[in-house]
């Protein structure tokens, strides 16, 4: 009436051990290949980003030169509107940020 399970237990434990060793051996083989692929992918992304940054740096800041010239002309002519209250408020904010 009682089935013996000692043999099947030992066999299943051996099978689990063998499978875990086989999978870790496969992981060890594929890990360097995955790491190399990841590193080359990161390197290519860094190169692309560096190229984009170099392009942006060489083109200069995004400035609307016609608007800058228009403001300069108005300031020289004395017709550019200056809100002294706003300038004073921004200066106070700036001093408060600098002091603490």
Residues 5-54: tens digit of each pLDDT: 655 444 444 445 545 555 555 555 566 666 666 666 666 666 778 888 88
Residues 6, 51 within the same domain: yes
Residues 48, 33 within the same domain: yes
Residues 73, 25 within the same domain: no
Residues 58-94: tens digit of each pLDDT: 877 788 899 999 999 998 999 999 899 999 999 999 9
| CA distances for 71 relative to 6, 37, 68, 74, 100, angstroms | 93, 53, 5, 5, 34
Residues 23, 8 within the same domain: yes
Total domain count for the chain?
A: 2
The structure's pTM equals 0.32
Residues 75, 39 within the same domain: no
Residues 18, 57 within the same domain: yes
Which residue's structure tokens are 């099947």?
8
């Amino acid at each position: 009436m009682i089935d013996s399970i000692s043999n099947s237990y030992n066999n299943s434990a051996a099978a689990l051990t063998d499978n875990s060793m086989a999978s870790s051996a496969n992981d060890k083989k594929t890990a360097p290949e995955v790491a190399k692929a990841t590193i080359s992918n990161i390197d290519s992304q860094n190169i692309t980003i560096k190229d984009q940054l170099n392009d942006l740096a060489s083109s200069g800041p995004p400035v609307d030169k016609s608007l800058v010239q228009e403001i300069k002309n108005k300031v020289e002519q004395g017709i550019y509107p200056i809100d002294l209250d706003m300038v004073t408020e921004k200066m106070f904010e700036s001093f408060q940020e600098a002091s603490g």
